[in-house]
Amino acid sequence: MQPVLIAGEWRDADATGEFQAENPSTREALPDVYPVSSWADCDAALDSAAEAFAAMQEMSGDQIAAFLEAFADAIEANAEALVDMAFLETALPKSPRLADVELPRTTGQLRQAAAAARDGSWRQPTIDQANNIRSCYNGMGPVCVFGPNNFPFAFGSASGGDFAAAIAAGNPVIAKANSSHPGTTRIFAELAKQAADATGMPAGTVQLIYRTNHTVGLQLVGDSRMGATGYTGSQGAGLRLKAAADEAGKPIYLELSSINPVVFLPQVIEQKWQDLAEEFAGSCLMGTGQFCTNPGMVLLVEGETTESFIEEITQRFDGAAVGTLLSGSVERSLAESHEVLSGAGAEVLCGTGAGSGTGYCQANTLFRVSATKFLHDPETLQTEAFGNSSLVVVAKDVDQAAEVLGSLEGNLTGCIYSAEDGSDDEAYDALAPVLRQKVGRLLNDKMPTGVAVSPAMNHGGPFPATGHPGFTAVGIPAAVIRFAALHSYDNVRDHRLPEILRESYSGPAQRNVC
Amino acid sequence: MQPVLIAGEWRDADATGEFQAENPSTREALPDVYPVSSWADCDAALDSAAEAFAAMQEMSGDQIAAFLEAFADAIEANAEALVDMAFLETALPKSPRLADVELPRTTGQLRQAAAAARDGSWRQPTIDQANNIRSCYNGMGPVCVFGPNNFPFAFGSASGGDFAAAIAAGNPVIAKANSSHPGTTRIFAELAKQAADATGMPAGTVQLIYRTNHTVGLQLVGDSRMGATGYTGSQGAGLRLKAAADEAGKPIYLELSSINPVVFLPQVIEQKWQDLAEEFAGSCLMGTGQFCTNPGMVLLVEGETTESFIEEITQRFDGAAVGTLLSGSVERSLAESHEVLSGAGAEVLCGTGAGSGTGYCQANTLFRVSATKFLHDPETLQTEAFGNSSLVVVAKDVDQAAEVLGSLEGNLTGCIYSAEDGSDDEAYDALAPVLRQKVGRLLNDKMPTGVAVSPAMNHGGPFPATGHPGFTAVGIPAAVIRFAALHSYDNVRDHRLPEILRESYSGPAQRNVC
């Protein structure tokens, strides 16, 4: 059985069970056996993390940056092992996806986080000279990261965006591996531990457990030693963790579900429906649809060309190769969502049912429903079908399309395509304000599947897309603030202040002096 | 029965009950009768607020600023009526407290919020030119404000910090009056409505209900039309509202309780125990101790001078005039807290029991407990006793004092007094890092009761002081961000962007262009 990483040591877990990952391409179990950790493992990790946190609060941003950069270097030096393991565990293509897209994104994030740690940009130092009150953001405490199944590198528990943001803010991380890629997470934790040791970080900076039972997981996020939790994954498990964290008054940042509505307005459909069909089907089936921002709903207005567009995307879905899904659980969940949508009256345009591959898969699936029927049961019909699947909603007119958007829950993204000549502008003006309030990122004329690591990105949105519409999981320094506490210093003697607030500070941070 | 303010009209409530406020100086009911509103009132208010929110999202910051400034002017023009009513309902002294301190603070906050609305400083506009992604904070939706009993102006539901911050971010406010000063809140709502009408704000910009039953209150904060809630008040009611908001995924900002520990280190006690006793007793009894940041716990290290200090503060508590409490409920709650502390083994140094006034009061009360006993039951012994009361905790040594600080829950403030000659510095270095993690504002050599409206203020702290350690309720623009959603615009055509993100923008906001 694989050991866990606690207090700087790879040691035997206090295991209450065990599990193996599967190769999604073959549906067969992979050889490594991983432990289900008891509370004793979590308790030990929390103690070590609390100790590491105290030490990290006294460290310079430079030292934390050095760790993140050494880790990024180590990832690059071990790219092949990571790509091989992630391919085995997730069936995501080695190239370009894992090796050429996700890995550079991951090291890029870590280096951006390092830059933020170094320049203090996320700390927002504020100095009120008249009152001698100063404030800045500091770390918040140990952060537990539950990474999702679909980005084993860029959102991985011991390597991804939450990890980088938590460390940049001076917090140790307790990584809870995603059960579908424990081996990948283990390699990251090994590299992180080596980088931490080499750069003089405390033992509890990065710790790894693989799995716990529900009760232990809830206890973990609500523990008094915990600072905050970052969770990306299924809504069911996420809501249980949220309830436990909320009750304990601990911040928890969630990314739970999103159908990412895309609206094609009548004139743009009229003008270039074939191009749009290609763009949409490509975005929707890319990566077998397993992106947080995958367009799971298309909203159209009735019309002759609309029917041609729907026929075109149906053909494209039907004709496209069927990709492998990340796991048996994704396959089951997708099949269940299809049943829910069918049961609520959505008509099958193509697909539903097992795909023809040897791995986990479902046929590329397209549903259709009238807006009238959608509005009859919007809650059920906006069920997320995570995978290579989408729902076409056809409204009688723009007013009814606005009603559909008004009935949506919170989403990460929302997109409106409109004619370049302005002929859709009236419709745009009717729909965009409604959609704006439902999403974190509003797009024009562009599919939502790309999520640039940009300071202007919002990979967030109203509940249940996330837990709080003021925060983003992607984009630095904004993502770092999630794991920071606001600390005010009132009449505190100068030499006792954090360096960034002292009179003598001459570092790179822009300070707000008033 | 007094009408409620819904959808721009003062109209009869759909009442399920009624109540009257009391004059705390006489314990007698005041003549005005106020309604307990049903869900129908809340539902109507939510509809109107949603409509107002949509309109406010299209408004310029200048227009919102004009409203806030007109309201501040109206408050000044009606200062006498406000002071008279608040004195009747709260027994807080007319001068200097209400007229010369709290009222100018209130209008000052409104004008600072207006300045923030005008200059867009809270919106953090960020422009990623290479990716054509832009982001800024916008309003979040209707905000419900539950104001506390102890600041009828500066934290009032229709006038205070949460109100000003919510409006500045472009959100309408549904004010839920504090039941102990409904008349004061009514005058503010009248003035706010006049100012809103005069400056062309939508009808639902400010609405007022006085009270609901528990079920209706929980439904209100969790409603899908609600953006967020600001609550300052008792922990019991606050935690119920938090659970309802959390379940609905709606942000709620809370200020629940805080004992604001003050540590006097051995050498500073040695050097000026009499001055410190005066300073401490003054801060503790000011306003009959009814401040959120009132020092409810004093932590000392054993010693001869420590005993002199304790004797001195006991005499000062004993000899000071007994102030009137805000309400019968504050009196009851204070008496209950005293019983809890006694029951857990705290020794009475002076007070406990009814005061001698005709109004609501309790004798100035000082408890003492050893740190050893405190650490035996820290949860009970850190019960907040809101009012003219404090608990002295005496530790054997600095290590034990650190243990006491480590056992505390989150607080708004924490303070350490130390000798100017550096002779306490070792002890300071042992205690300050522990205390820092427990509080939003760390003070040196200064009582916590003053809360400057400063951009560097943090009137917040870890749970249960507040619900999230990253936010402050006082200080602009930081307090405004609480009521803002992060909105990203990806490839959105320039003329469709908020003005602050457009290429042509030439306003005052500092934009982060990268």
List, for residues A278-303, the tens digit of each pLDDT value: 999 999 999 999 999 999 999 999 99
What ipTM did this prediction achieve? 0.97
Reported as a pLDDT band with limits 50, 70 and 90, residue A352 is confident
d(CA A223, CA A274): 54
- Alpha-helical regions (H) of B249-397: 266-285, 304-319, 328-343, 371-376, 378-381
Average pLDDT over residues A445-473: 96
H/E segment holding residue A40: helix A39-57
- The yes-or-no verdict on residue A53 having pLDDT over 90 is yes
- Chain A contact for B141 (CB, 8 A cutoff): yes
Contacts of A101 (CB under 8 A, 6+ apart): none
Question: Which residues of chain B have a CB within 8 Å of the CB of A463?
Answer: 248-250
H/E segment holding residue A297: strand A297-301
Binary contact (A463, B248; C-beta < 8 A): yes
For A368-420, the pLDDT digits (tens) are: 999 999 999 999 999 999 999 999 999 999 999 999 999 999 999 999 999 99
d(CA A409, CA B254): 25
CATH of domain A261-444: 3.40.309.10
Nearest to A106 by CA among A71, A139, A141: A71
Q: Provide block-wise average pLDDT over 10 residues at a time, chain B (514 residues).
A: 98 98 97 98 98 97 98 98 98 97 98 97 95 98 97 98 98 98 98 98 98 97 98 95 98 96 98 97 95 97 97 97 95 97 97 82 97 98 97 98 98 98 98 98 97 95 96 95 98 98 95 94
- The yes-or-no verdict on residue A355 having pLDDT over 80 is no
Listed in order, strand segments (DSSP E) in B69-225 are 126-128, 133-139, 143-146, 173-176, 206-209
- Chain B contact for A468 (CB, 8 A cutoff): yes
Nearest to B163 by CA among B246, B75, B235: B75
Residue whose token pair is 């877990």? A13
Sheet of A228-232: strand order equals A9-11, A4-6, A206-209, A173-176, A143-146, A228-232, A252-255
Angle at A29 between CA A24 and CA A35, to 5 degrees: 115
Question: Dihedral sign, CA of B122, B123, B128, B129?
Answer: negative
- Chain A contact for B134 (CB, 8 A cutoff): yes
Q: Distance (Å) from the C-alpha of residue A348 to the closest C-alpha of chain B?
A: 31
Of A42, A292, A361, A415, the catalytic one is A292
Binary contact (B514, A488; C-beta < 8 A): no
Binary contact (B462, A487; C-beta < 8 A): no
Q: Give whole-number Cα distances, A78 to A85, A86, A99, A173, A439, in Å.
A: 11, 12, 11, 21, 37
Q: Give whole-number Cα distances, B218 to A95, B110, B468, in Å.
A: 51, 28, 20
d(CA A235, CA A221): 16
How long, in residues, is chain A? 514
Instruction: Assess whether A304 carries a catalytic annotation.
Output: no
Nearest neighbour of A458 by CB, restricted to B413, B468, B488? B488
- Chain B contact for A460 (CB, 8 A cutoff): yes
Residue B164, number of CB atoms within 10 A of its CB: 30
Residue ranges of A 18-57 with Cβ closer than 8 A to chain B: 54, 57
Q: Distance (Å) from the C-alpha of residue B216 to the closest C-alpha of chain A?
A: 21
Reported as a pLDDT band with limits 50, 70 and 90, residue A441 is very high
d(CA A43, CA B353): 44
Please report the pLDDT score of residue B356 as a whole number: 73
Please report the pLDDT score of residue A60 as a whole number: 95
Cross-strand partners of A174: A144, A207
For A202-261, the pLDDT digits (tens) are: 999 999 999 999 999 999 999 999 999 999 999 999 999 999 999 999 999 999 999 999
Of A69, A89, A102, A255, the catalytic one is A255
Cβ–Cβ under 8 Å, residues A52 and A205: yes
Binary contact (B440, A464; C-beta < 8 A): no
Peptide bond into A464 cis (omega under 30): yes
Q: Give whole-number Cα distances, B63 to A414, B502, B507, in Å.
A: 29, 19, 14
Question: Which residues of chain A have a CB within 8 Å of the CB of B471?
Answer: 486
Residue whose token pair is 């974190």? A440
The overall average pLDDT reported for chain B is 97
Nearest to B259 by CA among B235, B275, B231: B235
| CATH architecture designation of domain A4-256+468-513 | 3-Layer(aba) Sandwich (3.40)
Exposure class string for A399-429: b at 16+ Cβ within 10 A, else e: ebbbbbbebbbbbbbbbbbbbeeeebbebbe
Q: Give whole-number Cα distances, A229 to A165, A172, A485, B2, B59, in Å.
A: 12, 12, 14, 47, 37
Question: Which residues of chain B have a CB within 8 Å of the CB of A413?
Answer: 490
Please report the pLDDT score of residue A63 as a whole number: 98
d(CA B64, CA B220): 25
Cβ–Cβ under 8 Å, residues B367 and B390: yes
Could you state, in order of their start, the residue ranges of all structural domains in chain B?
Answer: 34-256+468-513, 261-444
Please report the pLDDT score of residue B353 as a whole number: 79
Question: Which residues of chain B have a CB within 8 Å of the CB of A410?
Answer: 249
Longest C-alpha distance within chain B, in Å? 74
For every residue of B267-303, DSSP letters joined together read HHHHHHHHHHHHHHHHHHHGGGG-STT---EEEEE-S
Residue ranges of A 254-313 with Cβ closer than 8 A to chain B: none
Residue B495, number of CB atoms within 10 A of its CB: 10
Binary contact (A433, B54; C-beta < 8 A): yes
d(CA A178, CA A191): 17
- Chain A contact for B430 (CB, 8 A cutoff): no
Three-state SS at B231: strand
d(CA A349, CA A366): 5
Question: Dihedral sign, CA of A142, A148, A149, A150?
Answer: negative
Tokens representing residue A48 in the block = 């070590």
Domain B34-256+468-513 has CATH 3.30.70.360: no
Please report the pLDDT score of residue A357 as a whole number: 75
Tokens representing residue A322 in the block = 């069927």
Q: Which amino acid is at B201?
A: M
Nearest to A267 by CA among A125, A423, A407: A423
H/E segment holding residue A370: strand A365-370
Nearest neighbour of A486 by CB, restricted to B131, B428, B470? B470
Percentage of chain A lying above the pLDDT 70 cut = 100
Active site residues of B: 255, 292
